[in-house]
Amino acid sequence: MNLLDMVKDQVTGSLGSQAAKFLGESESGVGKALDGIFPVLLGKMADTADDSNGLGKLFDMAKGQDASILDDIGGLFGGGAGNVAKLMNGGSGVLNLLLGNSTGGLIDKIAGFSGLKGSAASSLIKMAAPFLMSMVGRHIKNKALDAVGFGKFLGEQRGNIQSSMPQGLLSSLGAGFLGKGASAVSGLASDGMDAGKKIVGGATDAAGKVVGGAADAGKKLVGGVGNVAGSAANMAGDVGGAAVKTGGSILRWLIPLLILLGVAGWFGIGPGLGGAADAAKGAVEKTADMAGDAAKGAADMAGDAAKGAADMAGDAAGAAGDAMKGAAGAIGGMFGKIDEVAKGALDKIKFTAGSAGSEMMKFIDGGFKGDGRFTFKNLTFATGSANIDGATAVEVDNMAAILKAYPGVKVNVEGYTDNTGNADANVQLSQARANAVKARLMAKGINAARVNTKGFGAANPVADNGTAEGRAQNRRIEMVIMK
């Protein structure tokens, strides 16, 4: 049984159509995302099932899943945002079991792969997870599987998972999404590198010994018949050494050696020198052939080892990249919980370019890259007070709309002043202004526990306090996502 084929036949098309309308995204983009989401989630199910504790939790969740959602996807979405919100809440539980803090990282990858906005990819994966779990739960009931049989079934799906994964997505997910398999591959690669080093080293030593021995034989053979033959033997030794070092310069030495031997034979130097010369020549040729073969073999193995090292370096770089994105993934997890009603209202807001709300939405849609710090650009206070100028309060209201749509996010509100006036008074003023922003957020429905405040006075300036423009930039309120 190929579970992913069943999901594609029974779920993907209808879910893609309904989700695209709900999210305001193209059906093709949503369909592409689902083609990646389902294999990834099933792969994580198989990884989770490798652990007995994880298998038990997964088995219980699948058995308890409401499989009736598979029968009327259109009706579920037609029932309104409340039904979809309930579906997504269930999906959050599935993702927490399968992915934990890696959810945000997967959302980023799916968004990049499919072209969806980060917020849409986040919502879509929460919609998809319950459908996959329901399909698994239905199979458990239909086949009366126990936990052991369920684990075996998931193990049998690995080949289908690999063949169904869209080209390019698996490599982009990185080692963090490959489970135990990644560690095994890494271990084999490391062992292979060590073995490669030993082979290359041994081959090089062997080549040196062969060449050296042949060269010594040539020297002894030629040494007793005259200085010319002795020079030939020395040249043979040089040939052997050069072959080990370069594997490609033998002819450069061999040709003049043969000429020298020929000249010696021409002048008849020493009795039996012709035979010695022939023997020396044979030794040189034998040495050159053996050295060339050994050097070539060593070079080939060195090349293979170098390629293995390069491949491992690439894998290590990918893993390092995943580690660097760990913080973004953790923040992404905070945005995983969505109030769909508030999200619908948020989507209707037109943010002023460069405003704190505009920058925060870019942060969300861009996969949570950056430090999660946003400066209110259009928020002002009456001089020397914490009273928000009425017309500028809309920027705080817009941030409240974002926080309402993502109820899992907590923030710090930080107040700053320029360096004019009394330092202690500036700290008090900055604290009062941060508190005023918190009060405005609370008035818009944000729970006080989600907002901390801190006044820093003239600390951490972002511009030169020596100019009026710089002082204006330093008088600011910043909102920072708690990590």
- At residue 171, the pLDDT reads 67
Going by C-alpha positions, the residue among 280, 298, 299, 300 that lies closest to residue 239 is 280
Distance CA 59, CA 78 (A): 30
Strand locations in 203-297 (E): none
Buried b / exposed e over 429-461, threshold 16 CB at 10 Å, is bbbbbbbbbbbbbeebebeeebbebbbbbbeeb
Residue 277 CA to residue 284 CA, distance in Å, equals 10
Residues 6+ apart with CB under 8 A from 263: 228
The larger pLDDT score, comparing residue 52 to residue 199, is at 52
pLDDT band with cut points at 50, 70 and 90 for residue 439: very high
pLDDT more than 70, % of the chain: 66
299-306 contacts, C-beta under 8 A, 24 or more apart: 299/247, 301/196, 301/199, 301/200, 301/203, 302/200, 304/196, 305/193, 305/196, 305/197, 305/199, 305/200
Mean pLDDT of 316-339: 62
Gap between the Cα atoms of 223 and 216, Å rounded: 10
Give the SS3 label for residue 220: helix
The tokens of 75 are what? 């009706």
For the chain, the structural domain boundaries read: 3-173, 185-324, 339-481
pLDDT tens digits, 118-158: 889 999 999 999 999 999 999 999 999 999 999 999 999 98
Residue 303 reports pLDDT greater than 90: no
Do 76 and 110 contact (CB within 8 A), yes or no? no
Out of 28-32, 40-44, 216-220, 228-232, least confident range:
228-232
pLDDT of 340 higher than 70: yes
pLDDT at 183: 37
Q: pLDDT digits over 81-114, tens only?
A: 888 888 988 888 999 899 887 788 888 889 888 8
Arithmetic mean of pLDDT over the chain? 77
Q: Give per-residue pLDDT as tens, 182-233.
A: 333 333 334 444 444 443 444 444 444 444 444 454 444 344 434 433 444 4
Q: What is the pLDDT of residue 307?
A: 59
Alpha-carbon separation of residue 190 from 87, 194, 306, 315, 457 (angstroms): 44, 6, 13, 12, 54
Q: What band does 295 get if pLDDT is binned at 50, 70 and 90?
A: low
pLDDT of residue 293: 63
Specify which residues 453 forms β-bridges with: 413
58-67, 254-263, 360-369, 375-384 — which is least confidently predicted?
A: 254-263
Q: With contact defined as beta carbons under 8 Å apart, do 328 and 336 qualify?
A: no
| pLDDT value, residue 366 | 81
pLDDT at 217: 44
pTM for the full model?
0.43
**Choice between 425 and 316, residue whose per-residue pLDDT is larger:** 425
CATH class of 339-481: alpha beta
State the average pLDDT over residues 362-369.
85
- What distance in Å separates the CA atoms of residue 430 and residue 329, rounded to the nearest whole number? 32
CA torsion, ordered 213, 214, 215, 220, to nearest 10 deg: 90
* Residue 169, CB-side half-sphere exposure with 13 Å CA sphere: 28
| pLDDT of residue 253 exceeding 70 | no
Q: Which of 237-241, 271-275, 417-421 has the highest mean predicted lDDT (pLDDT)?
A: 417-421
Q: Which residues pair with 454 in a beta bridge?
A: 414
